[in-house]
Every structure is written in C-alpha cells, then in structure tokens.
Structure 1
C-alpha cells in the first residue's frame, strides 16, 4: 500500500488515532511517536496523522486527554515510590479507594456520562430548533405565494380601471368637440350607441 494516502478519514481510523495518542500520553511518550505509529498502521504520513489529530480528533477527546495526563502523573508518583522502597521489606497494607487508578474513579465516570448526556440534549435541542425554523420557512413561503397571487389580481383590476378611465376621457373629449361644432344651435342632444360612441340627435 502507498505510504502517503490522501483519502478521507474513516471513523475507525479516528478511533485508532485517539487510542494510540492517549496511550502514549498515559505512558509518558510524545505525540510525534504516536503519529509515527498510527501512520505506519494506516499507511499515512506522520504529518497527516498530526494534522487530523489537531484539527478534528483532539476536540472529541478533551476529557480523555485530561484523564490520560492524570494517569501519567499517578504512574510517575507510583514509580518514584517504588524506587524509594526498593530493598525494604514490603509491609502489607489495607487497600483503599485512594490507591485505585484514576481510570477507575467513579467520579471521572460520572463526569464523563454527564458530559455525554449534555451533548445528547444539546443535539436534540438543535434538531428541534431546526425543525421549527423549517416549519416557519414553509409557512412564510405559503404566505408569500398568496401575497403574490393577490398582487397579480390587483394589477389586473388596475389595468382594467385604467383602460376604462382612458375610454371615458376619450368620450368626454369627443363630446366637447361636437359641442363646439354645434355652438350656433340652441340645443344639442347626444346619445351613446352600443359601442360607446356619442352621436348627435337631429332635432
């Protein structure tokens, strides 16, 4: 396989990257060593693994990183204590919850579950808000369509009224001219024919 793959990362690859980096943190190794190890397993470059970790995966494992750092600190203390006790007879002692590894702490488990529950609630809230916004957009689109149809009806009515107004003005102008032509007569009578035209009636 090629040693410099450039295809998209899968979820399984992200999980493997996280597991290896967290293990190196717990064991006191460096992230560069972790990127090299993952790169060899996935046939990707160390730089690509580092970029993927810093740009995306690390954000998903903030609590895991803190926990791994605490485990590393606890491991260093335990190692130092073991060196000071070398050569001395081991005395039995009662096992207490304080001596339990940090990874099995009930408090850390509860904190992790609370954060996961909060993330689920936030996701559900966002989905509900998105659904409500989608419904509002649909209603506004319906109202807009109705308003556009109403506007077209008003425009048609306005066009008809404007044509009627022009016709009346033409009739009045024609009547005025006929009246001027018959100015010498005592009375001039007009009638309107079926086409809307004025005709002078003979006496």
Structure 2
C-alpha cells in the first residue's frame, strides 16, 4: 500500500520515533532501519521519518543519543570478551526501554550498567526539553499577539494620515479661493478709484470679469 499520510506529527508520533531510533542505536542497528520501522507503523515514508528526526526530534534527545552510543560501545566490548547467550531482558530493562533508557543490568552481568546519575540526568534533560518547548510556544504566541496589535495600529495610523491629507487638500482649496476673492476685491477698489477720477466705469459680473459701462 502506498504511504501517502501527510497530517501533522503528534507528540505520540515523535515519542515513538525517538524510542525506535534510540533502541536501534543501542542495538547497533542503523537509523535508516529505525526510520523504516517507524514509517511502517505510522504509514509514513522512511524519508519523512528521517526528516522529522533530523529537523525536530533529534534536538530534544541529543544527550540520550550520546548515552545510547556509549551503551552500544560498552555492550560491544562486553560481547567481545564473553558473548552473552540466551540473555533475556529483565523487568527493569523493559521499564527502562519504555522510558527511552538503555537496559540496566546487574553488576554480575556482562552487559553495561546504567548508573543512577545517568538516569537522573536523562530524566532532567527530558523535563528541561519539555519546559523549554512550552516556554518557546508561549513566547511565540505572545509575539504573534503583539504583531497583530502593531498591524492594527499601523492600519489606524494609515487611516488618520489619509484623513489629514484630505483635510490639507480642503484647506489648500479654501486658501486659493480666499486669494482669488482678495484679488478681486483689490481690483474693485482700483476701479472705484478710477471712477472717482472721471475715468471709464466698470462693473464685475458674477464670474469675476470686468465690464465697461457706457456713460
């Protein structure tokens, strides 16, 4: 069946991806095999799983990956010294795997042992990653909200600027009208003075044009 799933990754999907990759690393397998296994379970392609791991999930489990690699080396050295036959994981091992932890073996066994400090450090790292993710999401939401508020303010200011431009245009037109009226009044005064000096008489029509009056 063709894998065409394109929905978003859930927290459970990311957790399954991390658990599978860490298990393959501990067991000496490859991450490509882990991606294919997760892809079969989630109906996604191995490439999509690999991209998700490298781009998003791996950053949250860097210390866990290093711990798993260390566990793999120790296990390999132990097997070279004395191969383990018919070894079955204990209850503690199964619980550790459910928490993305390498298996914990007793000191009498030939497999490497995970110390309590390493467990505490790993759990603290998981908690820190979750807290950091929550903080980043909160900051992101706050920034989006501030951005929307700024966009609203910009739109409001643009409206006010447009209104000011319209008012300025009106004032400019009124000013030109006032200049024209004052110019006409000045010419009328000059004509009146000429009439008093027995010069030709003029009158101004409604359009502001002068007409010579017959005596």
Is this a same-fold pair by TM over 0.5?
A: yes
CA change 1:23–1:105 in 2 (3 A) is same
Closer, same or farther: CA 193–113 of 1 in aligned 2, 3 Å: same
Shift of 1:29: 0.4
Structure-2 change in CA distance of 1:35 and 1:130 (3 Å): closer
Runs of 4 or more, structure 1, over 6 Å off, are 188-200
- Give the equivalent residue in structure 1 for 2:137: 123
> CA deviation digits over 1:156-193, x for unaligned, max 9?
1221121121233234345546766x48518x999999
CA–CA distance in 2 between the matches of 1:63 and 1:109? Answer: 10
User: What's the TM-score once normalised by structure 1's chain length?
Assistant: 0.64
Aligned to 1:152: 166
**CA distance 1:55–1:104, shift in 2 (3 Å):** closer
Q: Is the 1:70–1:102 contact (alpha carbons within 8 Å) kept by the matching residues of 2?
A: no
Q: Distance in 1 between matches of 2:2 and 2:122?
A: 39
Indicate yes or no: 2:85 matched with 1:71. Answer: no
Q: CA separation of 1:108/1:55 partners in 2, compared to 1, >3 Å: closer, same or farther?
A: closer
Report the 3-state secondary structure (helix = DSSP H, G, I; strand = E; otherwise coil) of the residue aligned with 2:67: helix
Where do 1:18-33 residues align within 5 Å?
18-33=18-33
The residue number in structure 2 matching 1:185 is 198
Aligned to 1:110: 124
User: Quick check: 2:203–2:211 contact (8 Å CA) kept in 1?
Assistant: yes
Q: CA separation in 2, counterparts of 1:136 and 1:80? A: 65
Cα offset for 1:17? 2.8
Q: Which runs of 5+ in 2 are unaligned?
A: 85-105
Is structure 2 residue 17 aligned with structure 1 residue 3?
no
Q: Is the 8 A contact 2:191 2:201 kept in 1?
A: no
d(CA) in 2 for partners of 1:139, 1:195 = 47
Instruction: Count residues with an aligned counterpart.
Output: 190
C-alpha distance in 2, partners of 1:193/1:108?
98
Alignment partners' CA distance in 2, 1:7 and 1:147: 46
Superposed CA deviations along residues 30-87 of structure 1, whole A, max 9, x for unmatched, are 1222233233333444344334433444344334323322332343344345459xxx
Residue from 152, 156, 161 that aligns with 1:142:
156
Q: Does residue 168 of structure 2 align to residue 169 of structure 1?
A: no
Relative to structure 1, the CA distance from residue 49 to residue 123 in structure 2 (aligned partners, 3 Å threshold; closer, same or farther) is closer
Matches within 5 A, 1:45-84: 45-80=45-80, 82-83=82-83
C-alpha displacement of 1:195: 10
